[in-house]
Structure 1
């Protein structure tokens, strides 16, 4: 084990270690590690991904119909049975593409935080579990990608594989204000196209310095993973996509990462965020598990993606247990958080609520955020793809009905929102160091409103449709 360099730090670590051994949470971690390493779900997932053939699975629902793109919308009621099947399959693809990106992020943060726990000492079983989880995630990701790619190619080809609808907008370049800004000032704030702007580099360096200064008494625990990145001249990791990419802007994520990779308490606090990802996945994945069991009980054919969802949840159950245990109990092993650590941990969860959990979707069940322009781009491409073959006006007319009018899809979305809210409140209500609005999940709770979603989506769609018409006129 690696302990702190200072005598006082060594004494604190040794004292904490003796208190941590034999605790309820240390026993849970030990048992979870044993059960996880003894299971064979990861191997099943690998084999299912390698053997997947879309034609053999194309005539079956992969989940209950409500887990389909556009479910409950006026368009869904008007389309053919084969198109409904395709939307059911594409929902699975989109959900697990998002999950794959999020699990790649999880792998990075497993390494960031395990570096802190190893430096503190006494948590080798936990670190071994995190290392094992990272290996599992690599198999999960490859399976999701294989099934997703084959399915997208079979249904829509390459039509909607990209995210952008158009090239970079020239709106900014035509701004009346631009000529009034001195060229050196514009250069300072604008990226050259080969990397970050001078301003963003200064900002990131300043935030990094603040974090390290405020946590200077914990520098002996600085994650080896982050140290090695710095030695190679590589930036602090900050995801741009997946759930991690939605939590906060990348400069804030780098700022939080330094804290999660230096302070033992903050490393534990990260797992409350990881639990958020676990809970979102469980909320959307458990219906697949119920569907798997229903098909199995009836002796009916089980589509490969349904089986993947089933075995993935079994694997992820171990990961969820670890997230809960660290976030809810293990943080108490360490000295109480400072006022500064409480502030940063509160800010991270507040941003996650605001950016990831603050709304409701009527076209993507389980999405607890308002429908943004990027999602509208996706649906616009989908409606113009070979699956629907719509012209621009027809596509926009249908999108307006789906995004801006109340329908069953919003009520299905609200059901998943309430289920996730309960999971979140169950954990965060126990975190005594968190802000009241975070313990109660106040922002998320306020976002569970169909009327608010319609109001927000109507405004967003109006701007989106206008941009489409301008670009295509």
Structure 2
């Protein structure tokens, strides 16, 4: 039963619980989620995973492979293609694991707001339960990922010495050009610099000033951090780490943890993550069902993908319900709240949805220098065992010349675009460019992807040559 707590603001009327369809849907979703055993199956599959048993099977359709459709993939051996299929799964779920760790944080932040409001106890229980589920998902992804990477490439993919060297060179130049007292203000080897502390405190003060009438709803989670003198968490990995710089994430988090509307609006951002996951994961589900129909062996990672999407279906329903319906329980957003929510989604489009990959089909976001570094190290690893020049020549063909991989990437990009347009088109408080996913739409071009890659690869090649 939902708790009959009194709301704190007379302007916020508690929803008529027996009649509110969205609250009935939340209750049914919570009951179905807690009754299912998908999480337990994922946990057990992770514990039992043995790469040797699964190594001679595709874990998804061939196009879900690193470098799929590239000239190099076309000449790869059968064993290399299997490994590329497995590494795609590992990379995909490594990103999901980091993103789900982010979700656990923000579930807790927003949950604190809903608990302060009252009358949403079942929702709070569902969010707590989701956070517990995510911990099992993350552990399983990490178990399978570690064993797979060690079996295929060993320690060859660990570390990032190229970027470390570059950073050291830049820091040396910085020390020569900038006076010491200025460096000490902007940079600290002991943690946050004085500048970053002032900046974060200023942004927090702006948020709290603009939301001062929402103070009674301030999340207990954020209150506890303040009492302990700890900063607001801001992830650097996963989806959260790609939305915006860390100081923006802290700024946004203050809003999500203070305003009932903004707490709901966070779930429109979470829905983007849900939609990206489904766009990537549904192909594994179809592959699972096809193997099951034929009575063929189902690899453990394929089964994990299947049960994970079953779990995440409940989470997606919650995101949709809060973002599209529950926010209407509260007063209409102010101009300031509309502005901040618009900035959030706009930044998400720019940072993660403005392009697509030609070497990682079904991967949101364009090819960048970190992905090029990953492919370079992969080609130098025991899987391909290439010399530097050979690796760079193949990379130029894969990243900078049109091939099937770009067309596959565009296909998945368009599928995700349609899903997000359908969702955000219903949110009348959002900017037009967000309702229509304008930035994402403009990035749906193979020519633009190639132009971007040519420029980035030139920089990457030069950094490799100068580091030798």
TM-score (norm 2): 0.97
Per-residue CA deviations over 1:211-256 (Å, capped at 9, x if unaligned) read: 0111010010000111111111111011110011000000000000
Q: In the alignment, does 2:443 pair up with 1:447?
A: yes
Alignment of structure 1 residues 27-426 onto 2, 5 Å: 27-163=24-160, 165-169=162-166, 170-173=168-171, 175=173, 179-190=176-187, 192-426=188-422
CA distance in 1, matches of 2:41, 2:7: 42
CA distance in 2, matches of 1:366, 1:215: 39
- What SS does structure 1 have at the residue aligned with 2:158? coil
Tell me by how many angstroms 1:184 deviates: 1.4
Distance 1:470 1:18, change over 3 A: closer
Tell me by how many angstroms 1:368 deviates: 2.7
CA distance in 2, matches of 1:109, 1:278: 14
Tell me by how many angstroms 1:189 deviates: 1.5
* Contact 1:3 1:119 survives alignment (8 Å): no
* Contact 1:164 1:374 survives alignment (8 Å): no
* Contact 2:162 2:467 survives alignment (8 Å): no
| Alpha-carbon RMSD | 1.3
- What SS does structure 2 have at the residue aligned with 1:255? helix
TM-score (norm 1): 0.96
Tell me by how many angstroms 1:257 deviates: 0.1
Task: Name the counterpart of 1:456.
Answer: 452
Per-residue CA deviations over 1:4-29 (Å, capped at 9, x if unaligned) read: 65xxx2x334xx21435521111110
* Contact 1:74 1:401 survives alignment (8 Å): yes
Tell me by how many angstroms 1:185 deviates: 1.6
Distance 1:111 1:21, change over 3 A: farther
- What SS does structure 1 have at the residue aligned with 2:233? coil
Distance 1:179 1:152, change over 3 A: closer
CA distance in 1, matches of 2:249, 2:360: 26
CA distance in 2, matches of 1:419, 1:162: 34
Distance 1:432 1:466, change over 3 A: same
Tell me by how many angstroms 1:284 deviates: 0.5
Range that drifts further, 21-30 or 373-382: 21-30
Tell me by how many angstroms 1:433 deviates: 0.3
Tell me by how many angstroms 1:281 deviates: 0.6
Distance 1:32 1:457, change over 3 A: same
* Contact 1:19 1:333 survives alignment (8 Å): no
Per-residue CA deviations over 1:305-333 (Å, capped at 9, x if unaligned) read: 00000000000000000001111111111
* Contact 1:164 1:377 survives alignment (8 Å): no
Per-residue CA deviations over 1:175-210 (Å, capped at 9, x if unaligned) read: 4x86453321222122x2221221111100100100
* Contact 2:349 2:437 survives alignment (8 Å): yes
CA distance in 1, matches of 2:310, 2:115: 27
Range that drifts further, 377-386 or 192-201: 192-201
- What SS does structure 1 have at the residue aligned with 2:232? coil
